[in-house]
Amino acid sequence: MTQRLNYAQRSPEFFRKISELSMALKDSVIEQKIRDLVNLRASQINGCAFCVDMHVKEARIHGESELRLHHVAIWRESNLFIPRERAALAWTEALTRMPEGGIPDELYERVRGQLSEKEISDLTFSIMTINAWNRVSVAFKSVPGSADKLYGLDKAGLD
């Protein structure tokens, strides 16, 4: 795959702003483990090779197990995820796919049973942000692994 253009160079002011939002989300009330799962699941749904590659490596660096990473795509059938993670993954899928008619009240209530309003709000901003990254990376064909050294992802030991 060859990258179409370098969006960070062509639109540095917007790249900087979305990067700042991404960095700010590291201070959200949502724990890193869930943020890793959410980033991976949204990237899988959106078919973003660059982001799937990146978020698998980040999750491994953060201590996530290989098996759970394989199970993210089948989380509904897997017994490896706790209810809180399942709620976050369901919310991620709904917001990423954005069903016609909006997000069902039943889903919101199910998520609210596992997450506080602050957590749901922070999670929603996280999902919104990964979807933005996915769209720019897919549009311009960002090459998986091309930023590993820049982001310290070479430490994951996954080649």
Centre a 10 Å sphere on the Cβ of residue 137 and count the other Cβ atoms it contains.
22
13-154 belongs to which CATH class? mainly alpha
Over range 60-80, report the average pLDDT. 98
Q: Structure pTM? A: 0.95
The tens digit of pLDDT for each residue in 88-134 reads 999 999 999 999 999 999 999 999 999 999 999 999 999 999 999 99
CB of 12 within 8 A of CB of 147? no
Find, among 3, 75, 6, 1, the residue nearest to 36 by Cα: 75
pLDDT of res. 27: 95
